[in-house]
Amino acid sequence: MTHLIKTVLFTDTDGRARFREETVALTEGKPQALLSPLAPSSGWQLRMSPPGFRSSFHCTGDPQWVFILQGQMEIGLQDGSSRVFGPGQHFYSADVLPAGASFDDQVHGHWSRQLGPDPLVTLFLRA
């Protein structure tokens, strides 16, 4: 495999959050340990969400990678669709509020929740 799949949560031209898949080329390293090019980051945070956690609709403040370390995280969109991410999975969260827009919880953003009996532990890595 010479690439990985990157799931991206983004704001589409209509202001609504959507998912898309992109490839990340593994152009560096050695055949037994392929690497992507080094990308900049501006810090990281760990979060623990107890069983029963659910957010309201919101936009991502600053684009960031979200890595699931423990438990399960569901991300829901305005169109009623959702995706579940478990330990070892990740996505790039970039559904920022469109320039000049005022947040409308009927149009913008996504919600997230913890699923199952285990607390949700995530690592946020700012881009």
What pTM was computed for the model?
0.93
- Indicate the domain borders of the chain: 3-28+41-97+108-126
- DSSP 8-class letter at 14: T
How many other CB atoms are found less than 10 A from the CB of residue 124?
Answer: 16
For residue range 15-52, list pLDDT tens digits in order: 999 999 999 999 999 999 999 999 999 999 999 999 99
Give the model confidence (pLDDT) of 39-89 as tens digits: 999 999 999 999 999 999 999 999 999 999 999 999 999 999 999 999 999
Please state, rounded to an integer, the average pLDDT across all residues of the chain: 97
Q: Considering the domain 3-28+41-97+108-126 in this protein, what is its CATH number?
A: 2.60.120.10
